[in-house]
Amino acid sequence: MPFDVTRDSLTGLVGRDAARTRLAEWLSEGVQVHALLIGLRRFDAVNLAYGAAAGDTALIESAARLKHFVADELEGSWLVARSSGGQFLLVSSEPCSRERWQLVATQLLDALSRPIAAVGGTLRLSPRAALLRGLDGEGADSMLDRLGHALDTLVTQPGRRLAWADGEGTRPGRSAAQLEADLLQALDRDEIEVLFQPQYACGTDRLIGAEALARWNHPTLGRIGAGGLFAIAERTDHVPQLSRHIARIALTAATRWPGDLRLSLNVTPNDLAAGDFGVSFAALVKASRFPTWRLTLEVTEQVLLADVAAAATAFNGLAASGIKFALDDFGAGFCNFRYLKLLPLDYLKLDRSMIEGVATDARDLAVLRAIIAMARALDLAIIVEGVETEAQRLLAAAEACFAYQGFLRSPPLAASAFLTDASA
């Protein structure tokens, strides 16, 4: 869970001083921590070439991607801070191996490297990161100094993206080829687990369904979240195979759910790139015997960027069978409102950043209300994710949002645990 304290006015992230204070508290409590200091190379060039407004856009989008990645990939306590300029600090108390932490850093840099749409053009940043695992008895200032020094060494080494702050070179760990081979075996070894994030009606607080989330229980590296899992699958060109595997597991589990509980599944860009996605997915659902009217497919803007027309064709065919569609992570990036016109959408699923400050910030609340008004005009229901406080839940209910999910009520659950809760 994130630590919420005084935030940077531009990105909404925890400030450096607040992060140092919290880090010191963790260390004084004997918590083992891991840390990353991320620097956006070429950030000054963006300001010079495109102007300060474009630089601000790059920071805001990078912060949003960072928060979204961390919330999806890490467990336990964590904090994300804007350190200074184009630098961000991530600290986590999740127990993990050195190899696992390096994998997290690599995947995070990949996420931050994706092009950013801004006024004046498309921005491409080149992030780098220093990383460490805290030493016994080490203080916060020592950790931050070591991270800063390690990041500085990367400035003179343009070919490297990562540096360990303990002075050692980046250990090879498991190579990309090894991880890819591991994934192919994982599909057969039952190492891919599907968890279910419960969803609740805002008005009645009744359980109405769940979103399926994949995790890889790697025998050496430990738990790898959905982002890392699909990044590895993409390198092996096995995303469609992995997606079908996850969907099959989730649909099988959901057939045992009582009543009319809904199942939400995520669609990836690689899924849509396959020309037969609509036909093959319909066949998969039919084989599972799960009712199509209880199924929702969630799609993000990233999925639609490649070919929104192809997506519309596939979705329209599935919608005719009763399947519902949600535009996921709304508000996390730069939404093209054309999607709202072309796609057969039923829900807008608000990113957790859209609900974070609504209970205390009048501007955040005004933005939320504007989105809800637009959704009502388009006959779209609102689902809110990342609800962590009772004040957020009550506000979502007061604004007549349809449903919510988040750690306030429940973290993602194993299939057996969700079935127990659903049957209670």
- Each residue's pLDDT tens digit, 343-356: 899 999 998 878 87
Indicate if the pLDDT at residue 62 is higher than 60: yes
Asked if residues 57 and 119 have their Cβ atoms less than 8 Å apart, the reply is yes
Domain with CATH 3.30.70.270 in the chain: 14-164
Average pLDDT taken over every residue of the chain: 84
Q: How confident is the model at residue 10 (pLDDT cuts 50, 70, 90)?
A: low
Structure-token pair, residue 234: 């993409």
- Report which listed range, 40-49, 106-115, 367-376, is most confident: 367-376
State phi, psi for 204 to the nearest 5 degrees: -110, -10
Distances (CA, A) of 363 to 95, 271, 355, 360, 366: 37, 37, 12, 9, 5
From 177, 11, 131, select the one nearest 82 (Cα to Cα).
11
Q: Which CATH superfamily is domain 176-423 in?
A: EAL domain (3.20.20.450)
Indicate if the pLDDT at residue 171 is higher than 70: no
Burial class (CB in 10 A: 0-12, 13-18, 19+), 257: buried
- CB burial of 224-241 (b: ≥16 within 10 Å; e: otherwise) equals bbbbbbbbbbeebebbbe
Asked if residues 37 and 147 have their Cβ atoms less than 8 Å apart, the reply is yes
Who's near 138: CB < 8 A, 6+ residues apart?
A: 27
Q: Which residue carries 């994934």 as its tokens?
A: 183
Give the 3-state secondary structure of residue 307. Answer: coil
Amino acid at 99: E
Indicate if the pLDDT at residue 130 is higher than 80: yes
Give the 3-state secondary structure of residue 228. Answer: helix
Q: How confident is the model at residue 154 (pLDDT cuts 50, 70, 90)?
A: confident
Give percent above pLDDT 90 in the chain. 33
Query: Between 364 and 45, where is the model more confident?
Result: 364
Who's near 284: CB < 8 A, 6+ residues apart?
A: 244, 247, 248, 251
For the segment 20-30, the average pLDDT, to the nearest whole number, is 86
Indicate if the pLDDT at residue 279 is higher than 50: yes
Domain with CATH 3.20.20.450 in the chain: 176-423
Indicate if the pLDDT at residue 249 is higher than 80: yes
Amino acid at 246: I
Asked if residues 163 and 146 have their Cβ atoms less than 8 Å apart, the reply is no
Amino acid at 217: N
Kindly report the number of other CB atoms within 10 A of residue 254's CB atom: 27
Q: Nearest-5° angle of CA 395, CA 398, CA 400?
A: 115
Looking at residue 333, what is its pLDDT?
59
CATH classification number, 14-164, choose in 3.30.70.270, 3.30.420.10, 3.30.470.10, 3.90.700.10 = 3.30.70.270
Q: How confident is the model at residue 3 (pLDDT cuts 50, 70, 90)?
A: very low
Give the 3-state secondary structure of residue 170. Answer: coil
For the segment 385-390, the average pLDDT, to the nearest whole number, is 89
Q: What is the pLDDT of residues 390-415, one digit of tens each?
A: 999 999 999 999 999 988 899 899 99
Asked if residues 214 and 226 have their Cβ atoms less than 8 Å apart, the reply is yes
Looking at residue 169, what is its pLDDT?
45
* DSSP structural state of residue 218: E
Specify the pTM: 0.73
Q: What is the pLDDT of residues 290-302, one digit of tens each?
A: 999 999 999 887 6
From 215, 273, 216, 285, select the one nearest 244 (Cα to Cα).
285
